[in-house]
Amino acid sequence: MHRYYYVNCSAVFAGDQNELKKIETLLKDPAEIRIPSDAAVADNWLGDCGRYKRYRDYPNTPLSKEEADFPIAYSIVVHKDAAQVERLFRSIYQPQNVYCIHVDLKSKPNFTRAIENLAHCFDNVFIASNIESVGWGQLSFS
């Protein structure tokens, strides 16, 4: 599902020339840095919810009693890059919280399908029922 790059961050910060050359090679070859397509996220990652949640190690209980007692409601507006959205979602996900995701009306069909599949995998994730075209970087009023 995810590609990992074995980079020694301490060596990078220390200025290790071998590690810096390794990173330079990665950055020069776009084929080495692959971001999964929206279709791959929809079908390969989210095609089997149980497998996906186990593989990504999503929590299934609150981390503490305090967090369980004070759930958070998130409203997330998205428009592209399902893999990036999934990574963001994974970093903020807790089972006691509620997530409402608004997919921009202008989003591509595979992206929309990926986000719908993501929501389908969780009881506490919803897709906004009133989908609108989002004006990015500007104010818009309905």
Each residue's pLDDT tens digit, 23-75: 888 777 665 556 788 998 898 888 899 999 988 899 999 999 999 999 999 99
pTM of the model: 0.74
In which band, very low, low, confident or very high, does the pLDDT at 141 lie, cut at 50, 70 and 90? low
Q: What is the 8-class DSSP label of residue 119?
A: H
> What are the residue ranges of helices labelled H in the chain?
9-14, 17-28, 38-40, 49-55, 65-69, 82-92, 109-120
- Are 6 and 60 within one domain? no
Same domain? For 6 and 59 the reply is no
Separation of alpha carbons 26 and 84, rounded Å: 19
Q: In which residue are the tokens 């500007």 written?
A: 138
Q: Please report the pLDDT score of residue 23 as a whole number.
A: 82
Summary mean pLDDT of the chain? 87
At residue 16, φ and ψ (nearest 5 deg) are -60, 115
Domain boundaries, position 51: 37-142
Do the beta carbons of residue 101 and residue 115 sit within 8 Å? yes
Contact 47, 117 (CB under 8 A): yes
User: pLDDT tens digit string along 74-116?
Assistant: 999 999 999 999 999 999 999 999 999 999 999 999 999 999 9
Residues 142 and 93 in one domain: yes
90 and 74 in one domain?
yes
- Higher-confidence residue: 6 or 128? 128
DSSP string, 86-105: HHHHHHH--TTSEEEEEEPT
Q: Closest by alpha carbon to 42, among 101, 86, 78?
A: 86
Same domain, 115 and 141: yes
- Identify the band that residue 132 occupies on the pLDDT scale cut at 50, 70 and 90: confident
28 and 70 share a domain?
A: no
Query: 13 and 52: one domain?
Result: no
Are both 3 and 64 inside the same structural domain? no
Interhelix angle 109-120/82-92, rounded to 10 degrees, is 30
Give the model's pLDDT for residue 1: 47
